[in-house]
Amino acid sequence: MSNDLNLPGPEVPVVDAERLLAEFGGNQEILDELRELFLEHAPPMYESILAAIETCNADVLGKDAHSFKGACATYGASRLSQVCKILELSAKAGDLDRCREVLDVFKQEYAAVCAQLQNVGVEH
């Protein structure tokens, strides 16, 4: 289980755009739609996770981190997905101190993903 609780290293891309393009056959329209959906739905999930950490609500945190982990994985945001996994597992274990420890990393990774998604697939 300790391997599940390691923060992602620099070898893991913020957003794996190459995998996304390959997965969707280079279809720019699908990538644009997915990006818009992610950018629309991510902020409320992000805010809910922040609120759950702030209010020490491990149940909500575990559920929301699990959902957000899947959304991030689907869109190739592997680093943020890994941080969400740490939050999910820590919340389910009742380790809110660990959740607070990775809060800054969560915020940084979220900001990096949102910034990078603006450019995914726009280079032809």
Decide if 121 contacts 32 (C-beta within 8 A): yes
pTM: 0.84
| pLDDT number for residue 1 | 36
Helix then strand then coil, % of the chain, to nearest 5: 75, 0, 25
Number of domains present in the structure of the chain: 1
Contact 109, 83 (CB under 8 A): yes
pLDDT for position 106: 96
Whole-number percent of the chain with pLDDT over 70: 91
Residue tagged 């915020």 (tokens): 107
Per-residue pLDDT at 2: 38
Token reading at 82: 């890994």
Q: How confident is the model over 63-103, as pLDDT tens digits?
A: 999 999 998 988 888 899 999 999 999 999 999 999 999 99
Residue 59 maps to which CATH number? 1.20.120.160
Which residues constitute the domain of residue 46? 2-6+14-117
Residue 26 lies in a domain: yes
Work out the number of other CB atoms within 10 angstroms of the CB of residue 19: 12
